[in-house]
Amino acid sequence: MDTRGNSPSSRDIAHFLHPFTNLSTHLQQGPHIVTGGRGIYVTDETGKEYIEGLAGLWCVSFGFGEQELVKAAIDQMRKLPYYHVFAGKSTNPAIELAEILKSIAPVPFSKVFFANSGSEANDSMVKLVWYYNNALGRPNKKKIIGRIRGYHGVTVAASSLTGLPYAQTDFDVPLERMKHADCPHYYRHAQPGESEEAFASRMAANLEALILREGPETVAAFIAEPVMGAGGVIVPPTGYFPKIQAVLAKYDVLMVADEVICGFGRTGNMWGCQTYDIKPDILTCAKALSSAYLPISAVMVSEPIFQGLVKESEKLGIFGHGFTYSAHPVCAAVALRAQQLMLERDMVGHVRRVSPRFQQHLLGFASHPLVGEARGVGLIGGIELSADKAKKTPFDPKLRLGQQLQALAQEEGLIIRAMPGDILGFCPPLIITEPEIDELFDRFGRALNRFADQLARAARKAAE
């Protein structure tokens, strides 16, 4: 492709380094440029409209063009476009946002720290856990356990907790202090005849064995998404989190809930913690915090942890962590209005009303010959392809069949996400209606049937 031209595509290729993109392929194919959005739909530069079936990146809960959020940004921009919160400075939007987050939190928290992304929130969490244990005189209690296939971001510490190869290979992570427990995917990892409850017990026993191998005096925290998002929309097996938390309590290990995707209504409760009976010591959130209209994230900490931070900062003379844009007043104002709208419009109630339709469609694809498992909760779901349903045999990853199906869905006017393991993720804006849910899955169904026809033709040709 000629990169010397003046088209947006050629200029993109010439100047823009894209995240999570095959850079070599991008040089040949160029970008898919989105120019507008309304409700659950986005429009590209050709004028074609798509259902945004992943809410952007699991985040645009109020869809595209929510004028209440636009107004909140404009009003705050006119009042105070920026101020920092270092050295005790503050702004009204930051104060009010911290208040509303504490009021809706799944457990009592003491304080709220603001950052700019889920990755930064989880990186901050790591530093807070280390700082806290230093305050308690436990300099060796610093290891943090993530899970295989978990996703917690891509900054250095956060990518070390992430359990996906693409976020670590050749980036020289994970850091030495980061460990990984089993992926609790019942479909893939249960033993023959093992019930979900027994599988969850085995996962907890394996975690305990890991803590004992590392030494309980060295293990500080365990981090988990209530539902694994980018790892493949993996729903925890029955009884999993209570069993895990019993192990953590036994060895004085902090429970960190990564609610970056699950928080703010996605699972049918305000928090995934409420859906799965998780009682965290620390909670991180982002994405739907502002419906992704502006970048902001938060870390909520318990009173004991906050008192540790106070003690250590008193010793050192300062709590030496934070960002220029922490609690940026415009971002905070938009997030505040988003959370007010969540309550005013009873968005959790709306999710509960429409999610049975969503899950009915989603789980209906489990009978398709190419689908190994369909799974989900609330308004999030995953469909995992399988070469042999009975044996749960995956396709050869080199074929990249999930990405091929993703491309066919896009041709049908649906944007979804293909993830490692040939898993297709669904996570529409929370505002989606039942007729729109029907249309979303109609479009996916057409793409899946076209995909099946292509594979059948390829198989016949190979047999000739």
Per-residue pLDDT at 462: 87
Residue 342's nearest CA partner among 400, 263, 418, 409 is 263
Average pLDDT for the chain: 97
Q: Is a pLDDT exceeding 90 seen at residue 1?
A: no
pLDDT at 464: 80
pLDDT tens digits along 209-231: 999 999 999 999 999 999 999 99
Q: Which domains does the chain have, with CATH numbers?
A: 32-65+346-463 (3.90.1150.10), 68-344 (3.40.640.10)
Instruction: State the alpha helices, DSSP H only, in 317-433.
Output: 329-344, 347-364, 401-411
For 254, the token pair is 């902090």
Q: What is the pLDDT of residues 276-290, one digit of tens each?
A: 999 999 999 999 999
Grouping H, G, I as helix, E, B as strand and the rest as coil, residue 17 is coil
Q: Tell me the whole-structure pTM to 2 decimals.
A: 0.96
In this predicted model, what pLDDT tens digit does every residue of 144-158 receive, in sequence order?
999 999 999 999 999
Residue 463 has what pLDDT?
87
Q: Decide: 208 and 397 in contact? Cβ < 8 Å.
A: no
Instruction: Determine if the peptide bond prior to 435 is cis (ω within 30°).
Output: no
CA distance 43 to 35: 6
What's the rounded mean pLDDT across residues 167-188? Answer: 97
Residue 218 main-chain phi, psi, to 5 deg: -110, -10
For the stretch 197-211, pLDDT in tens is: 999 999 999 999 999
Strand-pair partners of 257: 224, 283
| CB within 8 Å of 462: residues ≥ 6 apart | none
Per-residue pLDDT tens over the stretch 34-54: 999 999 999 999 999 999 999
**Per-residue model confidence (pLDDT) at position 3:** 44
Strands 380-385 and 49-52: unpaired
List the beta bridge partners of residue 424. Answer: 383, 418
Which whole number is the average pLDDT over 63-78?
Answer: 98
pLDDT tens string 379-407: 999 999 999 999 999 999 999 999 999 99
Non-local (6+) Cβ contacts of 68 within 8 A are 337, 341
CB < 8 Å & 24+ apart, contacts of 238-241: 238/196, 238/197, 238/200, 239/196, 239/197, 239/200, 239/201, 240/184, 240/200, 240/203, 240/204, 240/276, 241/276, 241/277, 241/278
Task: Evaluate if residue 4 carries a pLDDT over 70.
Answer: no
